[in-house]
Structure 1
Amino acid sequence: MVVLTSMKTLEQTFDNPLGIPTDGLIVENFINIFQEQTMAGYFVNSSVVTLFSVSFTLIFAAMIAFGITRLNDWKGNVLFALFTIGMMIPPQVNMVPLYSLILNLGLTNSLLGLVLVNISSTIPVAVFILTGFMKTLPKELLEASTIDGAGNWRIFTKVVVPLSLPSLSATAIFLLVMHWNDLLYPLLFITDNAYKTLPLALLDFQGQYSTNYPMLFTGVLIASVPMVIMYIFLQRYFVAGMTSGTVKG
């Protein structure tokens, strides 16, 4: 339905919402959405925000998860519990204080502000996933590395990260989908058209009294294509990451 509607006119959509266009499939919607709606700029904004958000969230979460597993006592449990509590707080609860903070920092209407908010909001779930995997790594292997004279940083970079690649890949895919499709934070912090992301830009096709469904569905289709392509090529890493650590050898 999304594909067919994106290739109809508004009149055809209302005349036969579920049918095939009677005048043949049209591509003008795809041309117009890039020429008139500057969709290419929104696409770049979403790509920049998603790339940096996912990258830094993975880096910080992996180091935190490694630190929690290395503590291996009540301190590690308390630290893990704090991040778990962070998953329980709905983003909507933090909107007012978060907006006040970003406003005071002068980061509204900026991609940097979105990246920082995304990192802080998704680190808890990333830490939760990666900690669960790293706890399944053989302790003997880490102890052997310590005996050989490796410090924590070398153990992390040379031993833990290579072994955690399946889990890191699965977490990256999970975070990528979250950040790419995020509407709440761009809607909260972005008002300048130059910094809009794709989900926020799609709201322009919805008015108070009418909605341009062909253009809206065209935008939805364009925004979905990167996710579909990514999952097709990375699904084996996603499945491996989700199942790794569930059975010990």
Structure 2
Amino acid sequence: MFFPFSEVIELCWRYFSVTTVFSSSLLASAQRPEEVIQRYMEVVAGVPDEDCIICMDQLSNPSGYETPPTEEGGQSILPETVGKFIKCGHTLHMLCMLAMYNNGTKDGSLQCPSCKTIYGEKTGTQPKGKMEIYSIAQSLPGHPDCGTIQIIYSIPPGIQGPEHPNPGQLYTCRGFPRFCFLPDNDKGRKVLELLKVAWMRRLIFTVGTSSTTGEPDTVVWNGIHHKTEMMSNLSGHGYPDPNYLDNVLSELASQGVTEDCLKAPSSSSSS
């Protein structure tokens, strides 16, 4: 079933505003899962004396997963096939990697389970919503020489799609809109641009279980930390925090969102 996903980013930035609509879909990649595996991995002839990081069995033994049926003309992956990633070179059963891929979002990207190198463009399962960006004259503690960037995330409740834990059931949205803050300096603006990429790739939030309340089927942060307090850091979610910008850049990079994403247009379509 096709579930279109659209997001609106409203930019109210230094006395003017720009509204851009981005569209993406879980079905952006119509490639067969086997094709994705074979694009980013290559078969190794001599099997190394190592364990598969996924099944933890020796690579000389076949994968415990069964080869799934393939479409007519498709090339299947056999249990004994061992492959290595084309960049990082880590080896594992290709069928184990196929099983891991089929268990995820199936967005056409792979992530090495050993070193976390991402192949392709990773996308998430964030529900549709709105990201607004404002400029504030007030400075943040620890950043006295610049103003503040305010980000407001708004996500309404809705129905879970096929990519979510319980498709067809409602998901809740507690604590929205969420207000977040960055220093309006060079590094803060770089983080902002990368957060916009992460938003378009549906990586900022996900649907899951709240770590604070235990509530299931609710919209939660997805591992990219934000500062939600402007004038204090009593909770650990505010300023001053001299390491925050570097830390969030590392978190973004772990999701495949780096400065390289700013050098070329994203594959997400816009209209």
From the two aligned structures, give the one with the greater helix fraction.
1
* Higher RCO (Cα < 8 Å, 6 or more apart): 1
The structure with more radius of gyration: 1
How does the TM-score come out when normalised to structure 1? Answer: 0.29
The structure carrying a bigger strand percent of its residues is: 2
